[in-house]
Structure 1
Amino acid sequence: MFSGEYIVALQASKTYLGQTERQKVQTEILLVEQVSKSYFLILSLQDNLRILDTSLKVNEQLFEETKAMYQAGFVEDTDADQLEMIVFNLKASQQNIQNQITTAIAFLKFYMGLAPQAEIQLTDGIDEVLENMNIDYLLQSDFSVNENIDFLLFMQQKALADLQLKREKSTYYPTVNAFFSAKTSAMRDSYDFFDSSLPWYPTTLWGFQMNIPIWSSGSRHAKVQQSKLNLRKLEESQKQLTTSLELQVQTARDNFSNMYYEYLNRKKNLAITIRIYQKTNIKYREGMSSSFDLNQAQNSFIQANTDYTLSIMNLLQNKIELEKFLTKTAALFNE
């Protein structure tokens, strides 16, 4: 009828259920993080590949023109060789990026739980993703540890530790049990139990049983003290976790801010190198620039394009990391 341990066990079952729900949400957040990183990586690589494809077509055409001019004796063979080397390097970069895209798509399918042979189509473009990025929200929105899934999961662990302390304390309480027994006996020494004319004698027994703990050689006290110590440790860990999460958010914001300005800088640099390359290309066609100048401009363009792609990747990676901290999850649990 009364058992302190049983009452605590009922409370613990609800707490364990809440812990399982929070672990599920934590897993979902991590999965979304992996999917997002793979998705944005593919978009960044595809944009890089698009720029290289355009440059390759221009240089292939220029190479064919230069080769024809060399065969006609208007230019030296080094000019044709320089352009052939540019085309070769662009094709190598193109193949390398294509391989990276293939690998990234395979990981994206894996994180989404799709079969390797499944067909997927990415509907967003990298420019659209960058334009829709809410910079003000990421850098200025409030952060509350009480909304963070890691903190909520930790608080469930603390609640379980508190219940463990209550359980140990409940062993000091008495337990009360009720019992009831009803039976009938023939009270005969002959095998005539199926004779309905003979009487049967009912017996009913009921009552209460109370167990009062008196002596346990100090084991109950030791367990209570150990549970109190564990709870105090978790209280200190809670303070450390709160400070750690706040520092991580601030660091994530600083990193995102740095990567955002790095992205803007790399974007400007790419635009400048494209203009320089286009002008050098025109000068080369008009005979006002050498193939060496063209090759140098091309190398600067490839490097700027690579730096620009890396800046996008770093920016989006930090965006995902920051959004993970800012995700509000407390409302998902009805308690």
Structure 2
Amino acid sequence: MSTLLTKTPGWALVFLAALSLPRATAQTTYTVSLEEAQVIALENAFAMQYAMLDRSQADRDVKETLALGLPQVNLVADYSQYIDIPTQVAAGDVFGFPDYLTAFLGGVAQETGVPLNAPPVDPDAVSEFQFGQAHTANVGVQASQLVFSGSYFVALRASQSFVEARDRAIDRTADEVMQQVAEAYHLVLGAQAGLEMAEEAVALLVESKTEVEALQQAGFADALSLDRLELAQTELEAQVLNAEQQVVLAKGLLAFQMGIGLSDALTVTDEMSDLLQNGQELEWASRPFNASALPAVQEQQVYLDLAGLNVKNQQAQGWPQIAAFYTNQSNAQRDAFNFLDADEKWYPIQLWGLNFSMPLWTSFGGRQAVEKKKIDEERARIGLAQLTQAAEMEFANAKAAFSNATAVMNNARQAQDIAQKIYTQTEIGFNEGVVSSFEWNESRNGLLEAKGKRLGAELDWLNARVALQAAFSAFEK
């Protein structure tokens, strides 16, 4: 009966044991088949929630990229104050008359007798000037429109392809979640079957113990036989307690994989015998394998396409970029802060135009950037080939593991039938006094061990079958 415990990862048992403590939260009751548990997980599992958020974010990326090519309008305003107004300097005679005009006016002054009274010319003199006001403010609207950009069109295509990649990621995650839920569901069924086996063994042992007590009182059995039965009963009762805890932990793991509360009441409705007789595995095992149909491979193919678009985007950096702009604003310059005064004047500024830019020479830097993107594209191509081969290997391993699990399960069933016959014959011999209590106890332990191995083999077969199903991505979503 310890088989189930050893098949569960230790970290999972510790984690679930900690989370299975009583909590003051409202309980929800779930009574689910395997298919219903998988449907719930597709809505609530943490991995699916993350995948859905990534898909939603990719949608926003497309809209954000599209918006870059639409008109952009900004409200602009600024205010500045000169603590010290800038001073401009010029030669002292910069505003004086030219030499020929000065000579002419001097001649006129001599002829008319009217003195010119011009100041003497100082060639080293410097004049200082201050222009502007202490307070300046601008307010208005600026608009721009992208007319042409090669990078924009490539980026728009890339964002749309990224949405497709996220769709494939959702399908891939759904396969992983459904496989995890199926394995957890199998574990619950196995734990419950183990508990039933332990309880049945205790009941049979108690019945045998009662018969031995009667034989002892009649003088046909010794006290040692009864002591052995009491010891075996103690061990089996401990196994019952352990099996009960395994059921709790297995249900906690299933609830975690489904994405529901660990404190919620969870009941499974499928029987292990029903799942063992499903029959779809024969169709999966005979189906031809096509790696390109798997969501994970399709996702990697989209990433390869994105790498190619990244090369084109880098090449588009050398194309022209044209944008139109329009500005409408008002300007005011004051010697005091009175911009809220409606009587003061504002001066309009309005213009429109085009911006054109195109790299002419980058000293081969642009070419090197393109070559780097091509290397990334080649890495993505290698990654696709690697993932395709890995998927083919996974299918081959899953198919072989399923075939082996089928053989092991059939052998375990035959071994249980043989152990059952041995126990039945030994029990008859013990009751007739021709078989010792030790041999009877050994045959009983052998039967319990055979039942446990059969249960473990059936669980391995169920998990091998779901692994084969996952290798084909044959889950119904």
Task: Report how far residue 277 of structure 1 moved.
Answer: 1.1
For each residue in 1:127-175, what CA deviation from the matched residue of structure 2 results, as whole angstroms up to 9, or x when unmatched?
Answer: 1110113231231112211221221221222122112111100011111
2:410 corresponds to 1:264: yes
1:191-230 correspondence to structure 2 within 5 Å: 205-230=351-376
In structure 2, the residue matched to 1:188 is none
Task: Report how far residue 194 of structure 1 moved.
Answer: 8.2
2:185 corresponds to 1:29: no
In structure 1, the residue matched to 2:454 is 308
Task: Report how far residue 83 of structure 1 moved.
Answer: 2.0
Task: Report how far residue 99 of structure 1 moved.
Answer: 1.8
Matched residues in 1 for 2:285 and 2:191: separation?
26
2:289 corresponds to 1:158: no
Matched residues in 2 for 1:83 and 1:290: separation?
12
Bigger Rg, structure 1 or 2:
2
Matched residues in 2 for 1:116 and 1:238: separation?
39
In structure 1, the residue matched to 2:126 is none
1:307-326 correspondence to structure 2 within 5 Å: 307-326=453-472
Matched residues in 1 for 2:321 and 2:198: separation?
79
Q: Is the 8 A contact 2:285 2:399 kept in 1?
A: yes
Matched residues in 2 for 1:28 and 1:178: separation?
47
**Between 92-101 and 32-41, the greater mean CA deviation after superposition:** 92-101
> Would the alpha carbon gap of residues 61 and 175 (structure 1) be closer, same or farther in structure 2, given more than 3 Å must change?
same
The alignment's TM-score, normalised by the length of structure 1, stands at 0.87
Task: Report how far residue 73 of structure 1 moved.
Answer: 3.1
In structure 2, the residue matched to 1:90 is 236
Which structure has the highest strand share of the two?
2
CA RMSD across the alignment:
2.7
Q: Is the 8 A contact 1:33 1:320 kept in 2?
A: yes
> Would the alpha carbon gap of residues 184 and 226 (structure 1) be closer, same or farther in structure 2, given more than 3 Å must change?
closer
**Counterpart of 1:155 in 2: which secondary structure?**
helix
Number of residue pairs aligned between Structure 1 and Structure 2:
323
Q: Which amino acid aligns with 2:395?
A: V
Q: Is the 8 A contact 1:138 1:253 kept in 2?
A: no
Matched residues in 2 for 1:183 and 1:114: separation?
58
For each residue in 1:49-89, what CA deviation from the matched residue of structure 2 results, as whole angstroms up to 9, or x when unmatched?
Answer: 32332232122111022123324433111121222233223
Q: Which amino acid aligns with 2:384?
A: Q
**Counterpart of 1:176 in 2: which secondary structure?**
strand
Matched residues in 1 for 2:415 and 2:281: separation?
22
Which structure has the highest helix share of the two?
1
1:298 alignment partner, one of 431, 444, 447: 444
Q: Which amino acid aligns with 1:216?
A: T
2:317 corresponds to 1:140: no
Q: Is the 8 A contact 1:148 1:328 kept in 2?
A: no
1:1-335 correspondence to structure 2 within 5 Å: 1-181=147-327, 205-327=351-473
> Would the alpha carbon gap of residues 182 and 77 (structure 1) be closer, same or farther in structure 2, given more than 3 Å must change?
closer
Identical columns (%): 26
Matched residues in 2 for 1:300 and 1:223: separation?
71
Q: Is the 8 A contact 2:281 2:465 kept in 1?
A: no
Q: Which amino acid aligns with 2:403?
A: S
Q: Which amino acid aligns with 2:293?
A: E
The alignment's TM-score, normalised by the length of structure 2, stands at 0.62
Task: Report how far residue 224 of structure 1 moved.
Answer: 0.0
Matched residues in 1 for 2:401 and 2:392: separation?
14
For each residue in 1:261-283, what CA deviation from the matched residue of structure 2 results, as whole angstroms up to 9, or x when unmatched?
Answer: 11011011112211221222222
**Counterpart of 1:221 in 2: which secondary structure?**
helix
**Counterpart of 1:2 in 2: which secondary structure?**
strand
**Counterpart of 2:296 in 1: which secondary structure?**
helix
Task: Report how far residue 24 of structure 1 moved.
Answer: 2.7
Q: Which runs of 5+ in 1 are unaligned?
A: 186-190, 196-200
Task: Report how far residue 248 of structure 1 moved.
Answer: 1.3
Matched residues in 2 for 1:38 and 1:240: separation?
30
